[in-house]
Amino acid sequence: MLKGAAFAVSGIAIPILSGEASASTASGQRRNDKHDAVTAGAGVAQADTRFGKVAGYIRDEIFAFKGLPYGDTTGGANRFMPPRPAKPWAGVRSSRSYGPVAPQDKGTGRLNDEEAFLFQWNDSYEGEDCLRVNVWTPGIADGAKRPVMVWLHGGGFAAGSGNDLPAFDGHNLAKRGDVVVVTLNHRLNLLGFLDLSAHGDAYAHSGNVGMLDIVAALEWVRDNIANFGGDPNCVTIFGQSGGGAKVSTLMGMPSAKGLFHRAIVQSGSFRLSNTQERSRKLGDLILKELGVSGNDLTRLQTIPYAELRRASETVLARENKPMGPVIDMRRMASNLGFGPVLDGDVLPASPFGPDAPEMTADVPMLIGTTLNEFASGINHPEYEAMTMAELGERLKGMFGDRAETVLATFRKRTPDISPFDLWSRIASARVRMGAVEQATSKAALNRAPAYLYWFTWQTRVLDGRPRAFHCAEIPFVFANAEICEHMTGGGPRAAALEAKVAGAWIAFARTGNPNHRGIPEWRPYAPATQPTMLLDDTCRLANHIDSEELASLG
């Protein structure tokens, strides 16, 4: 009812909005009166971009701009083409609500009531005019040169958006750190990564247009962010899961060089790159499934996305092997559906090792994972009753003759935890291994430092069954522990961790070093000692915290 009423009076003053303000910024923009929750209206929160003027709103002293176009529509003749600049507009463009998200499959997580409760997804609306950025800033055109933090969402390369979780709201992070926060949408799945390069120069980059979208967004930041109070020479890219993999991929893209100056990879140290041979094979199989000839690719411009998706799902179901009970992030490329393509041009070589990309050797990195990336008690609550004998049988199926060694090694450090907790840690260890390997290859360059973390804080929500689950750190990074209380539980315990984690991310964005007064000294990663910051109620730096366990996995 309230949502309908708000829509019906859009553009008309209502009690929560005020077109008047008693204070002004250095740039003459009107701020909201301290008694108003939100200010929006004529002359409020206006900024210039290279495409035209935009109007956002002010909430609690933070300027917010949403749905700003950084590129033209990706539909029709622009499908599978590199991003084109947004079309300029006249007048002032209202930019107060999120724009379209990339067409996608929403995934099965929303069918699990407890998982949906934790995450509180916001699906928004889909459309191919999806190249949009959202900006939160403490000031506009004030010459402050604040650090800029550009968030890349997760969902692999197939799903998600810059606003699909409440945790991604940049207001609190911008206010806590006096930073500019940017989130964005880009093309996903086959619309972003269908490789048609075997069928002519026009489609040479089709397998990487989703990543080229992100480069275009970073170019938008470079060209416009000073008007939003940000410093284009102090840009941090950060992302989680698939977003972390996008950060890693950008580290190896020549077109992205110089567009960012720090990089944070959260649970995203995967090898998610397709070979050109495999990606072209998938492209041709999908064309065959659609009944489209390689000589008539213009037909793809008018086929509905739902039909494209059905064809791709059919092909991937046929071509991909089951992932198995433990995901090995170091070997995921062999089973990848859509993702970046090693085409020798946009992505010349794998950015995931064994050698770190030389072109970004001077970019400091912050890398880490959570303790329970996989096998949380939400997806399989029946596993909570797992016995040691059942765990042993599972491990035999995974590790064969090494199963007993793996189990004994993991139990040695934590002898009193349950069989299911052991299973969860073993199932998650490959993700941690990917982070360690990425930090090791970065350190080998002996240029910019890498800092390694392990998020071990466990939520008490849902009887604590989610544990330190995949995505658990995100609300703390964004200083949103309270608004994401479904995840964190809220309250003083979550607030205390938020100060430590958000403080570290902000410090890193500002200086390339995550140290701040709220945590112990955090030393750069060195292979000889493998220092890892454990992010928990009590944070501590530990050397070789799980070296034996990781070595036992082989």
Phi-psi region of 70 (alpha: psi -120 to 50; beta: other; left: phi over 0): alpha
Of 18, 197, 206, 241, which residue is the catalytic one? 241
Q: For 421-487, what is the HEC assignment? A: HHHHHHHHHHHHHHHHHHHHHHHHCCCCCEEEEEECCCCCHHHHCCCCECCCCHHHHCCCCCCCHHH
DSSP string for 28-82: SPEEPPTT-SEE-STTSSEEEETTEEEE-EEETTEEEEEEEESS---SGGGTTSP
Cα gap 210→139, rounded to integer Å: 31
Radius of gyration of the chain from its Cα atoms, rounded to whole angstroms: 23
Contact 362, 442 (CB under 8 A): no
- Smallest CA-to-CA distance from 371 within 535, 167, 189 is with 535
CA separation for the pair 37, 207 (Å, rounded): 45
Amino acid (one-letter) located at 350: S
Element (H, E) at 341: strand 341-342
Catalytic (active site) residue 206: no
Q: How far apart are CA 138 and CA 178, in angstroms?
A: 6
Q: How many angstroms separate the CA atoms of 438 and 452, rounded?
A: 10
373 is catalytic: yes
Instruction: List the catalytic residue out of 153, 171, 199, 470.
Output: 470
Helix (H, G, I), strand (E, B) or coil at 149: strand
The answer to whether residue 470 is catalytic is: yes
> From the candidates 373, 437, 473, 498, which is the catalytic residue?
373
Q: The tokens 């290859």 sit on which residue?
A: 441
Of 27, 72, 70, 67, the residue nearest 45 (C-alpha)? 27
Cβ atoms of 39 and 21 within 8 Å: the answer is yes
Query: How far is 116 from 118, CA to CA, in rounded Å?
Result: 5
Looking at the annotation, which residues are catalytic?
241, 373, 470
